[in-house]
Structure 1
Amino acid sequence: MTGGNLMETSSCAGSEVDARKSHHQPTASARTMVKVRCGESLFTLDRSLLEQHCEYFRALFQSGMRECTEDEICLQVPSARGFLVALRVIHGERPMLSADEIVDAIQCAAFLQIELLTEHLTDVIDSDNCLLMYHTAATFGLLKLFESAALFVRDMYADLKEDAKCLPEDLIEYVECLVPSTYVTVGSHSPTIKLLQDFMRTVCYLDEDEKDWKVLTHLPLNASTTMAGVTVLDNKLYIVGGVYDISNKVVDSGFCYDVSTDTWSTFSSPQQLRYNCTLVGHVGDLYVIGGEFEKTVMSSVERYKVSSDTWSFAAHLPRPASTVACAKAMRRLFICLWKPKDATEIYEYVASKDEWVLITKLVRHQSYGHCMVAHRDNLYLVRNGPSDDFLRCVMDCYNLTSGQWTAMPGQYENSKGALFTAVVRGNSVFTVNRRATVEYAIEDNKWRTKKQMTGFPRVGSMWTSLLRLPKQSRLLLQKKDNGVEIFSGLNSSASVHCVD
């Protein structure tokens, strides 16, 4: 079958190959296929597919070497198991892998230079395999996976520190020199004039050692986060859309905060101005999804190329929607839309085809998905409680691999919308409201409360994300400017005053 991974049990004897070549001219169909021997296994594969996704085969087929004209190619990769994993990924599967499969797949990705396989291995890093991924990627020189696994280990280092002692000393030292992700929140703020600067217009980060929120930076005077889209891409914070005041005049500039330089810059706004929109970073680009303009809900979606500062329209949503819940899992982008009555639909945006594809539908009486959180190959859909009870939330889990829904047991407190602002880091999910910041440990069938810290003392909507604060920035934040601390705990009497 064309493009398949059929296994045969023939030998690779040269006499058989020569006989075929001497008596038969290969047909056009035969030239599109190639037999690849790996150990005792023989695969019949689509030649163009291998050339497209594998640097090793691309170089071989374009080299003019004798091997590229033969009917059968013998690979020297350690095992057929890793090559089988690679073939599954190339054909569009996203398999969850055992420890042995991971080791073999890493060796195969390093030897054959298969970018898709490296990306998939990165996507399936979790607390159970991250140390294995880190060590094996270091051993075989798979740099991208090595860096991703190292950062994952760093983010979970408090939980993994004992297990990490099995690593070589240099790998431990490398992890410890990295900067962990920090939980960052910005509230809903409108622009202000310089003479009446609102010192509550800040982006804040969570100091987990002191269990308190502290100021990272102040918003630019003309930036608005009211009804805006806010997200992080490549460790930079972006703000798009939003309104200036009760007139709903739309902000016509985008704003970007670069944490590495502690500076703000502006960039062009979408071609269609909007508010109550969703902003998300995906595959290196920004996407602004849906929203409103002049009180009209829209279905339009725009893509922003950061490198060229240009916007272009992408595929429209299946229906008009504002404040769309979205999440990214396994390098895939998902949104949930409400479809009356009682139905929440989950769509995936397929960037390569520029289309929205319906993945699944959940029907629950008088209950709709308001937030979606991704962890591994699971999508957690946070819904309002029965009869629109927003003080108590219920949750359902959709597994992308099995395609099955699972109802999470019990209910979760959602005072002031805490669970609608969730962010995942490692095996933890952080939620925040004015009263408390809670870290949950994500387990098989529940979220278990792990740690509770100070709440975020703001009114209105909140946007949460993760940033890696450079070490030099952390040091600067802790210094004093003319005898006055640059920041202090937001809930202390010496810091910002908050209105209940």
Structure 2
Amino acid sequence: MKMKLFRQYLMRFFEWIGLWLKHGLWRFWATSPIVNTLRASPGITDRRTCQADPEEWKTNEVLRTYHLGDGGNPMVTVQTSTHAFHVDLRRLSECSEYFRALSQSRMREASESFIDLDHVSSSIFYNLLEFSFHNKFKVSQEDLGPHIQVSSYLLAEAFLSKCLSVLADDLRPGNCLSYLGLAQEICCAELKMTVFTYLSRNLMELRHITRCLNEEEMKEVVHLRTKGEQRLCSLRKENLTSWNDPETELARHIFTLDGSEDSGDWCPVSELPFRADKWCFTAVVLYNYLYIIGGYRKRIKRGWEFKTASFRYNPFTHVWVATAPLLKHRRHFSAVACEGCIYAVGGWYLDSLVTPDSSTALYTAVERYDPWEDTWRFVSSLPLTDFQFTMSLSHDVPLATSLGHSIYVLGSIQRTGEKLLMQYNTRKDCWSELLPTLTRADTDLPTLYFLGATDRLLVIGGNNSENVVTSFCVQSQKWGQVRI
């Protein structure tokens, strides 16, 4: 037993002596002017000359040596799967939290200047060193996965970021799920965020993929679509002029405000995805997509007809996609996004663009659009009795908004002039009246302009002498203070 222990100690001693001699000889070789002269000799060990053969590092130890300046910093030997590298430890520690922690520890690897990483690919480690010491990125798109795995394991933040920036341009429907699986396997939050960002920018276009995500992942992907700089968008929802009017072509663009609201400029960012001189659309935003829903005039054999159409615009890719049209031919209706769907409420029959008269009936049918299925279906209709609805500032009728999981519509009771809010519960598919009403005794509000929502419902209207702002709290069922 004692003899066995003695042999073990003796073997460790000779191993230590061998490593010490190897390190000492390498230090001498790295700093010796004679060796430096040999390095400069043409055709043998010059690093720049050797780069003509990208695989020469495997047979030339000089190309596996990485140091800074005069080579006076501590060096360490890193043994990878097939090759050993001699590396400036200080620079390596700056590039990798793994090596920084190792260099500051009292582990045997730190004291012996020898680190065993035989489970790490030599080619990957070589590419990491080339990037860290010479800012040369040599990773092909096909090899990004293993390089991301190693850089994540070694906590090489800069190299990992470079790999992910290249991957961001290479992600596509056929490989994004495999990279997401890799991120989960190696617990790499940065890779996961790269894939989620790609999915968020193409949420609806890749709905066959995004629908495979669990609930928490879906929430995170949807949330990513709303991050970043907020932009205002403007478009002409209705056009009644002909092609002879020079304004018609300009009206076929959507604009965004570039800069601040005070000094910014409106710039065209995309053209409407149809060719027509007359159209009528209602706009709504869902998941940071712009939907325009309605129709446009189209020539037929015996004249003209209005074709129903719906389109979705992705502001990240500036791409329009045709979506399912409404079941009813509507114009000047209200569209409200709520609980991941779009609801079409009210409006008149889309047969021409003439102004509706007293005989024009408001649609009571309500439609719901499911973006994941790209389908419309009817839900509970508006319970109209003696109601009179007001057109919004954007010429949609009735005034409508959403808060929580409900849709709210504001109208006037014709007999009394009271203002009444109607609530549609999207989960129960039913309408109800919200009492109390806003009476003439509360405020003189013959004209309604706007209905919106923050934490409560906001109502803006006016009379012959002033504008009026008030609110309604859904929880307490009370009208707020009237402000003039």
User: Do Structure 1 and Structure 2 share a fold, with TM-score over 0.5?
Assistant: no
The higher relative CO (CA closer than 8 Å, separation ≥ 6) is in: 1
Structure showing the higher strand proportion among its residues: 1
Query: Normalising by structure 1, what TM-score?
Result: 0.42
Structure showing the higher helix proportion among its residues: 2
Query: Normalising by structure 2, what TM-score?
Result: 0.44
Q: Which one has a bigger Cα radius of gyration?
A: 2
